[in-house]
Chain A
Amino acid sequence: MNLVLRPAALCAMLALAAAFAALPTRADDIQDINKLIRAGQHAQAMDRVNQVLAKKPRDAQARFLKGVILAEQNRPQEAIEVFTKLSQDYPELPEPYNNLAVLYAAQGQYEKARQQLEMSIRTHPSYATAYENLGDVYAKLASQAYDKALQLDSANSTAKNKLSLIKELISRAPSATPAVAAQPPSAVAAAPKAAPRAAEPKSEPAAPRTGPATAQASAPGAGDEVLKTVQAWASAWSKKDVDGYLAFYASDFKPPKGEARAQWEKSRKERISAPKRIQVTIEAPRVTLKGDDNAVVSFRQKYRSDNLQSNNSKTLVLVRAEGKWKIQQERVGG
């Protein structure tokens, strides 16, 4: 099983920690350290952090970054120590718990990781990264239970996980989920119920304005198009139109959990074909445009079939290619 954990987004942490810390560290220092981490210059980053900490030993931001650098430097025990103390001093911060969980998971201590993530969520109930991590940890714990159930001896792949974890930390941190919320207010919050539920699944996306969106100022129009696409996607799903539904996904769509595209399509086909009827409705959608060809839509997805009802928050990342909006990422949660 391939466990990919998402370390706490640094910028989210920074925003929170900055608001929290009694004596805010100079933003310059923190930005510089971040740049160094991103550039992989861990030793330099560590020097700068230590300089900051020499002056302000209790500074939450600097201590957090030190933990991150230690994790990057493959010094998990020291990183765990830093994050543990940080979480004791600032128990209301979700990020240290999350990163502790990442470190524990990398060591194969999934039960400990679970506890930390639950703490993280307790302190910050809408913390998406912790949810996603928790989902992965649950899946890993599940697979351990399955191994016992089925007398399987799945190879212990913790070492691999640890390596990929560290890479994740560098590459993901600056652009993780909160970046979506951090987009400037050119974002368009579409009217929640304006789009009719009966949006035609075929006609809407199949009739794009072929003259590509040259008028880049048409943010509201693009927001409507995105929303219509999402509604049409839900409509195809409701009609159990598997081909129509799958056509909404971009060619570079990344199925969750690293599943192969073909495998994912097969399982979607099965899931959608199985119930006699399905009704998917989209409520309270929020569209955030990032440039002309990227959009993030968050909404409440109400799913009802003959044997299941659910009400989830969902986020779709859409990209526009040749005038059509297609789903590039899909995840449950904010």
Chain B
Amino acid sequence: MNAKGRIAVAAAAIVALAVMGALATFGKSVAPAVAQAIDPDTAKMMAGDRTADAYLARAFDDISRERFDLAQGEIDALLKVKPNFRLAHLIKGDLLLVRARPVNAIGAVKNAPSDRLEGLRAEAIARLRAYRERPRADLVPRYLMQMRDDQKYAIVVDTHRSRLYLYQNVDGRPRFVADYYVSSGKNGAAKRREGDEKTPVGVYHVVASLPRQKLSDFYGTGAFPIDYPNEWDRLQGRNGHGIWLHGVPSDTYSRPPRASNGCVVLANADLDAIARDLQVGLTPVIISEDVEWTSVDDWAHERKAFQAQLEQWRADWESRDADRYLGHYSPHFRAGSEDLAAWSRHKRLVNTGKTWIKVGVRNVSMFRNPGKEDLVVVTFDQDYRSNNLSNTMRKRQYWAREGGTWRIVYEGSA
């Protein structure tokens, strides 16, 4: 073996370890996935996958097997299709440098601005992790309890994993379509205040589509504002505005995992891919710090139980039995400026004039709110008819489970 080969092999081991080391420091669960050899199924999947993450994963796999030449081939191929992919340039630098001297971390560049370097390292880890830990086909995000028929797609974002998952509504069931790397708020998730540079956590909807002609280059190929702060956020006293899904500047392929002022940022190609599926006013965007996954059986069980809960509320309203009806409302209930006492007085008063009530509930969507508390956001079209009043409205309710019982904590028009 010639000297070049020897040097390369010696250095290869260092890089491989550095990659694993970086992953180990990031999250313990990730390290074994990288350290162990890739199983044949994964390898097969990887071989045909031309996404940026797939190139990266193959390059890292090559590095761990001390095959720098192959790794460099992957990175060069990746840069050919994504010339502005900074992380790929960083790894390219490592693969070149390792031929000259040992490399002991991703991005062995000296005197680099540490924030940028850390950002790229974090991106490497996030992308690799997402690629190695694919969403399981037998699990669905717990949040997507029920989509209405005309909601064709739903978006679920995991800020810890820097990942956006696109689900299609297939006969009421969420079916996984694709997932994408995303950047989120510089200071993490769970936005509370204007300017806190955090990404909100909750159930939102796409409320507008801003074409690129109306935007500066910073936002890339388009932007889709979502409705933060929603009703629940306002009740919690959260404020701020201008949370969008948007793209990246034209000289950039992607930004680090924690980079935005709170927006969810996708590569332009990825934004374009999901843009086709986004329906303004309809498509839910559920943002979580750490998506909860549930089996299809458990998902169906929760969905059915909650459907029954909603039906009970509807039936009790029709019954004109004010106690039964008001029993669905929480002591903490709010509707605009009304609390439960005001709401109850009003409802009881109205009820006295009724000889009959018919309540129709159509186009129901039910989304579980991410987080520890049991909170479900229900939106539906309500047809209300009675002897002295009829109206149709779109209504939104927030149901919370209090002491084992689901109760309405907020209700209003949507």
Contacts and interface: CB of A to CB of B under 8 A. Distances in A.
B87 interface: yes
Interface residues of A, number: 34
B236 interface: no
A239 to B, nearest CB: 21
B89 interface: yes
Contacts, number: 101
A293 B89 CA distance: 47
A136 interface: yes
A136 B13 contact: no
A139 B90 contact: no
A135 interface: yes
A151 interface: yes
Contact of A313 (B6, B9, B17, B116): B6
Given A142-B96, A145-B92, A134 B10 contact: no
Interface string B76-96: 000000000011111011101
A332 B112 CA distance: 26
A307 B10 contact: no
A249 B87 CA distance: 38
Contacts of A308: 10, 13-14, 17
A212 interface: no
B86 A151 contact: yes
Given A135-B101, A138-B100, A150-B109, A311 B93 contact: no
B265 interface: no
Interface in B136-162: none
A151 B6 CA distance: 33
Interface string B308-319: 000000000000
A121 interface: yes
A311 B6 contact: yes
Contact of B96 (A126, A145, A150, A334): A145
B86 A139 contact: no
Interface residues of B, number: 30
Secondary structure at the B interface, as helix, strand, loop or mixed, is: helix
Contacts of A152: 112-113
Contacts of B13: 307-310
Nearest to B13: A308
Contact of A142 (B7, B17, B100): B100
Contacts of A313: 3, 6
B267 interface: no
A125 interface: yes
A150 B97 contact: no
B303 interface: no
B99 interface: yes
Given A121-B2, A121-B4, A139-B96, A146 B89 contact: yes
Contacts of A148: 86, 89
B9 A150 contact: no
Interface of B: 2-4, 6-7, 9-10, 13-14, 17, 86-90, 92-94, 96-97, 99-101, 107, 109, 112-113, 116-117, 120
8 A-B pairs with least C-beta separation: A310-B10, A145-B93, A149-B90, A142-B97, A135-B100, A142-B96, A149-B89, A146-B109
Given A307-B13, A309-B10, A333-B3, 10 more contacts: A121-B4, A125-B2, A128-B3, A142-B93, A143-B109, A145-B93, A145-B96, A148-B86, A149-B86, A150-B109
